[in-house]
Amino acid sequence: MDFTVDAFRSTPPFDILAKLFGQPEHTDWLDESVSWKRTCYIGDWSFLPQTRFRGPDVPELFSGISVNSFGTFPVGASKHVVQTDAHGHVISEGILTRLDEEDYVFHGPGGDWTRYNLEQGDFKATAEDEDWFVYQVSGPASIPLLLELTRDERLLDTPYMHAVPTTIAGHRVWALRQGMAGEVGYELQGPREIATAVYDTVAQAAAASSSARPPSAATATTSAGCCPCPC
């Protein structure tokens, strides 16, 4: 590869990583790297597995295998859960959102570790697989864009790591106030069957407003700065 502007502006080939995690670039590395600073991007995190946990003992289950405290965890709140074994060695991590009093969804491979501990213990809780899309819509233009699509002014003041239900393209989705590199924005989450409708609606609105359409690659680029930490 030549280290020239033209070379950096060429889309990389479709390979095994693209098959697993999505095409790494949609336009080029230069445009997409500044999108979360100047306009907005849509990043696809749908490759993450989801597990749905229900029951009164879900906080107790997670507190026994995580460094996090669940003493304060109201409905609508999310936590970046860092999971360990009995010796404090990190096993996995992920995002846990409390959807209702006894209803939770966990995004990440740590769902398997949690389910294993659920089966080994005596908890009033259940676990089942979910299949959701997760689209990160972030950058300075993301909030005006999402307000245009949802007409939901709660997106102006939803606290960090909190999720609210909203509507896009006639479908109910969850909007999680989260960013990978400190940028403003939301993760849009919901059942896989409505993923295309939600993605296309966001992408078309962004194109109409001259916002960048990027990348799965933005997730790969910015997530390199994301390390497990309790919240």
Query: 112 and 143: one domain?
Result: no
Residue 35 located in a structural domain: yes
**Number of domain units in the chain:** 2
Is 170 among the domain residues? yes
Confidence of residue 168 (pLDDT cuts 50, 70, 90): very high
Q: What 8-state DSSP symbol labels residue 221?
A: H
65 lies in which domain range? 50-130
We report the CATH number of the domain holding residue 28 as 3.30.1360.120
Pairing of strands 78-84, 41-44: unpaired
Pair of tokens at residue 96: 């846990």
Q: Do 123 and 158 fall into the same domain?
A: no
Strand extents, DSSP E, 30-109: 41-44, 50-54, 78-84, 90-100, 103-107
Q: Express each pLDDT in 119-134 by its tens digit.
A: 999 999 999 999 999 9
- Any idea what the CATH number is for the domain that residue 83 is in? 3.30.70.1400
For range 146-158, the mean pLDDT: 94
Residue 210 predicted with pLDDT over 80: no
Structure tokens at 31: 């445009």
Domain-terminating residue out of 130, 157, 190:
130
Domain boundary among 130, 158, 173: 130
| Contact (Cβ atoms closer than 8 angstroms) between residue 160 and residue 187 | no
H-state helical runs in 28-130:
29-38, 58-63, 110-120
Q: Does 148 lie in the same domain as 111? A: no
* Judgement on whether residues 40 and 54 belong to the same structural domain of the protein: no
147 and 207 assigned to the same domain = yes
Q: Per-residue confidence at 39, pLDDT binned at 50, 70, 90?
A: confident
74 burial type by CB count under 10 A (0-12 exposed, 13-18 middle, 19+ buried): exposed
The DSSP-derived string for 179-197 is -SSS--EEEEEEEGGGHHH
**121 with 103, same domain?**
yes
User: pLDDT (tens digit, 9 = 90+) per residue, 1-13?
Assistant: 466 767 666 655 6
